[in-house]
Amino acid sequence: MILLSLIRLGDEAYGVPISKELLKTTGREVALGSVYAALDRLEKKGFVASTLGDPTPARGGRAKRYFRVTKTGMREAQTTRTALMNLWRGLPLAQGEHP
């Protein structure tokens, strides 16, 4: 979900927009601490990379940390998508039927 949020946000992916995107798409509020923990794990795996922006007064003089998906991360997102589609294929729910 985090990877997809980063892809959707493009160059504006830092903590606040990422958590808003997650809230908008999943309907659940995710704590920023948890978002950063997940991003840290993804960064260690090489799926995302981060850069520091400039400090701003609105943030109490603190810089934004921008995240972007790496090529490895893109491949991983595609692999996960394919795996999920394969898992869904053939299930009644996938065709709009209810068990």
Partner 1 sequence: MNSEPSQPPALASWLLRHLCSTKDAEALTGDLYESFAEGQSERWFWRQAVTAILVGAARGFSVRFFLILLMASNALVFFFGAILHAGVAVGPFHQPHIVPATAVEVLCGLSLGWAVAALCQGPPSARRVALTSNLVAAAGVCLGVVAGAVRQQTGPTIALDHRVMLALIGACLVILLFNRPDGSKEIRT
Closest CB to partner 1 among residues 60, 99: 60
Q: Does 33 bind partner 1 (CB under 8 A)?
A: yes
Q: Which of residues 38-57 bind partner 1 (CB under 8 A)?
A: 39-40, 44, 52, 55-56
Among 26, 34, 79, 80, binds partner 1 (CB under 8 A): 34
Hey, which residues does 33 pair with through a beta bridge?
none
15 binds partner 1 (CB under 8 A): yes
Instruction: Label each residue of the chain as H, E or C.
Output: CHHHHHHHHHHHCCHHHHHHHHHHHHCCCCCHHHHHHHHHHHHHCCCEEEEEEEEEHHHCCEEEEEEEECHHHHHHHHHHHHHHHHHHCCCHHHHCCCC
Q: Which of 27, 28, 31, 96 binds partner 1 (CB under 8 A)?
A: 31
List interacting residues with partner 1 (CB under 8 A).
Answer: 14-16, 19, 31-34, 36-37, 39-40, 44, 52, 55-56, 58-60, 62-65
